Structure 1
């Protein structure tokens, strides 16, 4: 393990990361939250609502989730700069928007794996040939 300056991390930092997770990911999270805090109130409220939703249904791994949250901050910062109304960002169905947004981040999506597993199991139960389809239930 190395720090940003290419120096080896101390044994203490190595153990700390084992217990708490990557310190770099925590730094990225704090930077993301600072960016969100700078948004106008209505945009910040929308981002925080979307963030809560994504905590439950978004990518589960740290790197994938951080890329998604950073892209979310980019999207809303650009929307503020362009004067795009919140409803124009989300459209009429916010759930449809978030599902399309999350689909761009497949890493750690247990739901996508489980959907594929479920669909394959039903196809097999129905006697359909699934040999040519990708098997995700192993």
Structure 2
């Protein structure tokens, strides 16, 4: 294996992992309600296939960019995701993947998590995400 092939291989192995850690560090810096929303959208998007390290990394970095800017501008979560967070997430993902499968349970979980993050009452006692 040539040096160029080795460095390309290492970039594929290490690159996405490093980018993932950087993304997670950025999310941890968000205000709690924005962090909750991003983490809920992240979980929802994890159900999509096929996955591609570079495409996935870009998708999550762009999600962090969006929420960082919105938090800096004081934009309410509902102005970011709208009234249907499933529709938002699916439209967001379409920019990065050719399709995927998202179970109904994941859609409901995302909707409930965004409702909580936006400070809206869900009528449930349990507020864990």
Question: TM-score if structure 2 supplies the norm length?
Answer: 0.67
Offset of residue 100 of structure 1:
0.9
What is the TM-score with the length of structure 1 in the denominator?
0.63
Partner of 2:113: none
Kindly indicate whether residue 99 of structure 2 is the aligned counterpart of residue 100 of structure 1: no
Greater relative contact order (CA < 8 Å, ≥ 6 in sequence) = 2
Q: Equivalents in 1 of 2:38, 2:53: separation in Å?
A: 19
- RMSD in angstroms over aligned alpha carbons? 2.3
1:111 equivalenced with 2:100 (yes/no): yes
Q: Please give the alpha-carbon distance, in whole angstroms, between the structure 2 residues aligned to 1:73 and 1:110.
A: 21
Runs of 4+ in 1 over 4 A off after TM superposition: none
- Specify which of 85, 88, 94 is matched with residue 79 of structure 2: 88
Task: Count the aligned residue pairs.
Answer: 97
Unpaired stretches in structure 2, ≥5 consecutive residues = 102-129
Q: How is 1:43-58 mapped onto 2 (pairs within 5 angstroms)?
A: 43-57=34-48
User: Which residues in structure 2 correspond to 1:5-84 (within 5 Å)?
Assistant: 22-57=13-48, 60-84=51-75
Note the alpha carbon deviations across 1:2-50, whole angstroms, 9 max, x for none. Answer: 6xxx8x65xxxx6xx6xxx611111000000000000000000000000
Larger CA Rg, structure 1 vs 2: 1
Unaligned runs of 5+ in 1: 113-138
